[in-house]
Chains A and B, each alone.
Chain A
Amino acid sequence: MDKKLRSLTIEEYASAQTEALLERLAWQVSHTAKRCDPESIHDLRVEVRHLTNCLRVFKQFFAKPERKKIQPQLQALTKLAGEVRNRDIALEVLALVPGVQDGDLATQLAKERKQAELELVKALQRWTRRNLFRKWRGKLGL
C-alpha cells in the first residue's frame, strides 16, 4: 500500500491518478507514433481507456465543460486506433483458421491497416505538436 497516496483526500487522490494517467498516455502517444506495431496500438487503446474511465469515475471533481471537451477527443483517438487494431486482430484470427488461407483478403487487410496506421500517426503527431496533454492538465486543474 502506498502510504503517501493513502493519506490523500479523495479529491487529491483523483487529481494524482488523473495526472499520472495523463503522463502515461502522453508517453504512449509518442511511443505509438514511432512504433505503430500491434502491441503499441493495443497499449495506446488501454491507456486511453484508463484515462477515460478515470475521468468518468471522478467526474464530480472536474468541471463539466472541460471534461466534455476532452472526452470526444479521447473517443476520436480510440476510433482511429480501433481501425488499426481491428485489422491486426482479423489478420491474427484468420491466420489461425485452418484451410482458409486467403491471400487476397490478407493483402487487402494489410493494405487497409497501413492506411489506418497513417491516419493514426498523423493524429498522434498532431496531438504531440499541439501539446494537448499540457493543455488538458490546465483545463482539469491538475
Chain B
Amino acid sequence: MADKRKFSWKAGQSSVQNAAEVLPALAAAFFAQGRALTSQPPPEALHNFRIQAKRLRDTVELFQSCYNRRLERLLKSLRELQQTLGELNDLAATRRMLVDRGFDKSRQNLLANLDARIAEKAEQFFPVWRETFAREDEARRWVHYLATGMFRPTRPVHKTGRR
C-alpha cells in the first residue's frame, strides 16, 4: 500500500524548522518502499510505488520555497523516475480499458502488443532506479538534504577564467 502518512506539525514553529523535522522521514519511507521492490515487481507494487513517489514529490514541492536551489536537482531525478512509472501506468490503464470492452477475445494481437510494451517499460524502471535512487548513500543524501538543505546557502557560481 502507498504510505498514507499523517503529518504532525508543530504550530508556532517556523515552516523551515517543521520541514526539516518532517520531510526526511517521508523520503526515508520512499526509499524503503523502493528497496523492497523485487526485480520483477507485480503491477500493483509498482502502482503503489508510483503513488508514493507522487506524494513525496508533491509534498516536497509544497516546501520548495523553504529550501535552496539544490532541491531542484533532487526533484529532477524524481521526475524522471515518475515519467517511467507514469508511462507504465498509461499502458496498463489502456489495457484495462480494452479488456473492459471485451477486447480480450476479439483483439489478441492488440493486447499482446500492449503486454509486450508494458513488460518492456517495467524493465526500464529498474535501471532508472539503480542508476539514481539505489546508489550508495542516495537515501542518506536525500534525508540529510531535507533535514539541512534550507540552512546552507547555495554556493555562488564563480567564473573559472577559462576561455
A residues sitting closer than 8 Å to B (CB atoms) are 1-2, 5-14, 17, 49-50, 53-54, 57-61, 86, 89-90, 92-94, 97-100, 102
In the complex, chain B residues 55-92 whose Cβ is within 8 Å of any chain A Cβ: 55, 58-59, 61-62, 65-68, 90-91
B residues sitting closer than 8 Å to A (CB atoms) are 7-16, 18, 54-55, 58-59, 61-62, 65-68, 90-91, 93-94, 97-98, 107, 109-110, 113-114, 117, 150
CA A49 to CA B82, docked complex, whole Å: 15
Contact assessment for A93 and B14 in the assembled complex, using a CB-CB cutoff below 8 Å: no
CA A48 to CA B162, docked complex, whole Å: 48
Contact with A90, one of B18, B54, B94 (Cβ below 8 angstroms): B94
Chain A residue nearest to B16 (CB atoms) is: A6
Contact assessment for A1 and B150 in the assembled complex, using a CB-CB cutoff below 8 Å: yes
CA A93 to CA B97, docked complex, whole Å: 12
Contact assessment for A8 and B94 in the assembled complex, using a CB-CB cutoff below 8 Å: no
Contact assessment for B55 and A8 in the assembled complex, using a CB-CB cutoff below 8 Å: no
Which among A17, A93, A98 has the highest number of chain B CB atoms within 10 Å? A93
CA A100 to CA B103, docked complex, whole Å: 13
Contact assessment for A6 and B97 in the assembled complex, using a CB-CB cutoff below 8 Å: no
Contact assessment for A5 and B9 in the assembled complex, using a CB-CB cutoff below 8 Å: no
CB of B158, distance to nearest CB on chain A (Å): 20
Please give, as numbers and ranges, the residues of chain A lying within 8 Å of B59 by CB-CB distance: 53, 57
Contact assessment for B90 and A58 in the assembled complex, using a CB-CB cutoff below 8 Å: no
CA A94 to CA B59, docked complex, whole Å: 33
> What is the interface of chain A mostly: helix, strand, loop, or mixed?
helix
Q: Which 8 A-B pairs have the closest CB atoms?
A: A13-B15, A2-B65, A53-B58, A5-B65, A10-B18, A93-B94, A100-B110, A90-B94
Contact assessment for B14 and A53 in the assembled complex, using a CB-CB cutoff below 8 Å: no
CB of B1, distance to nearest CB on chain A (Å): 16
CA A89 to CA B62, docked complex, whole Å: 28
Please give, as numbers and ranges, the residues of chain A lying within 8 Å of B110 by CB-CB distance: 94, 97, 100, 102
CA A49 to CA B57, docked complex, whole Å: 12
Contact assessment for A93 and B67 in the assembled complex, using a CB-CB cutoff below 8 Å: no
Residues A100 and B113 in contact in the complex (CB < 8 Å), given A53-B55, A57-B7: yes
